Structure 1
Amino acid sequence: MSFKISALADLSGADSLMVAKIIDYPLAKDEYKPFAQARLCALPEGLAVQMWAFEANPAPQSSLKAVLCKKGCAALSVQLWSDGRLEAAVDGNPTPGICTLSPLWGEDLQGRYWGGSMVLNKATLQQLWGENCLEVGSILQGNLYKLSTDEAKPHMGSLFPADFGGNPYGENSMGEFEFVSY
């Protein structure tokens, strides 16, 4: 089943979007599987990827990552670490300037959370994936991840099942994202 991506005029209506829950932690040796979520939407300026995780004291190695591509085209990834570092890459090559970040952090009834709203530049997306890549009916392949290499709390989770024993970013670890009009 595909994850649906709607279009919005701006992020003020983001609370109405579908939420992707990153809950698949197949290699977790202990009970530490942080709850992480994401929302995606098409905006006039590009593709917004909002991701956040609930962690009381996240290690600097703790990150949220999205990998997306149009079939047969370059893959774009964006990774946000708990200390605020951001990296956007095209086919694994860091590519500065193609993504903006609005960090978020706070507390609610579920605990402390951290994350951010990342907007991938529309011109870059159109150059990589074609002029109509964000329009209704377009399909992207990809996955959303919650990762940490911290020795005390290592974990690797995803939205769609991923091959964390092999290549978690390969084609077999990707699901489908579909642009819709709701």
Structure 2
Amino acid sequence: MTVYINRVGSAPDFDALPIAKLLDYPGEKRDFRPFAQAQFALGEKALFVRLMAFEVGPDPQSRLSVALEGGVLLSCFPGGRLEELGGGGLGAKAQEIGSEDLQGIYWGADLALPLAPLSNRLGRTPAVGMTMRGNVFKSLHGGKTGRDHFGCLFPCSPFDLGDEGQVRSFLAKPGFGELTIVGY
């Protein structure tokens, strides 16, 4: 499966972009699999990522994360907090989002990853026709609600995104899929 990153002008219209649904919850023995999704767009100065989880009253430690080749790993939390893992230094920005639509109540963030530092991490500048490797996660480990889970866009082994050792191990041997930049 390939996820498409649409080339846009200065800012994306997320209502017009394709959605990538997180359907894989490896090892999940219970029925708690929060519906989560991601959208990607490449702008003139940033890679934009919208992360959303349909979850009422999320645990404060619940997280939505995006990982890209080059050791990029960003996590957002309910309340708008953004955490750069895997080396940081991207200068990413997050805008908290949340509301209700026909699918239910959701929370999440719109992320902007500046192209200059992202290009340095990737070793090349994102452009139409290029394929990057990455993954998206919805997880909760050690939460207060008892609803721990791990979901991913592309299949991979579950790991604790709050544990630096496990994050380093994942980034050294990632479970990534293809993210292809298109110009339509």
TM (norm. structure 2) is 0.86
CA distances 1:97-118 after superposition (whole Å, capped 9, x unpaired): 6101111011123221000100
Q: How far off its partner does 1:170 sit?
A: 5.4
Whether the 8 Å CA contact 2:72–2:88 is kept in 1: the answer is no
Task: Name the structure 2 match of 1:65.
Answer: 65
Answer yes or no: is 1:134 the counterpart of 2:130: no
Paired residues of 2:135 and 2:177 also in contact (CA < 8 A): yes
Unaligned runs of 5+ in 2: 160-165
C-alpha displacement of 1:158:
0.5
Tell me: CA distance 1:178–1:171, structure 2 relative to 1, closer, same or farther (3 Å).
farther
User: Which consecutive residues of structure 1, in runs of 5 or more, have no partner in the other structure?
Assistant: none
1-structure distance, mates of 2:20, 2:27: 20
Aligned length: 174
Name the Cα RMSD after superposition.
Answer: 1.9
| Cross-structure match for 2:139 | 147
Q: Distance in 2 between matches of 1:87 and 1:45?
A: 21
After TM superposition, the structure 1 = structure 2 runs for residues 13-52 of structure 1, keeping only pairs within 5 Å, are 13-52=13-52
- Structure 1 stretches of at least 4 aligned residues deviating more than 6 Å after TM superposition: none
Query: Displacement, 1:81?
Result: 0.9
Shift of 1:176: 0.8
For the residues of structure 2 that align with 1:99 and 1:12, how far apart are their CA atoms?
A: 16
Whether 1:93 aligns to 2:109 is: no
Partner of 2:111: 118
Matched, 1:174 2:166: no
> Shift of the alpha carbon at 1:12?
4.8
- Please tell me whether the aligned partners of residues 53 and 114 of structure 1 are also in contact (alpha carbons under 8 angstroms): yes
CA distance in 2, matches of 1:139, 1:2: 9
Residues 83 and 29 of structure 1, relative CA distance in 2, 3 Å threshold: farther
Q: Quick one: which amino acid aligns to residue 137 of structure 2?
A: Y
Aligned-partner SS, 2:13: helix
Question: The residue matched to 1:126 in structure 2 has which SS?
Answer: helix
Q: Distance in 1 between matches of 2:32 and 2:155?
A: 18
Q: Distance in 2 between matches of 1:17 and 1:159?
A: 17
CA distance 1:129–1:168, change in 2 (3 Å): closer
Taking the aligned partners of 1:23 and 1:30, their CA distance within structure 2 comes to 14
What secondary structure sits across from 1:93 in the alignment?
coil
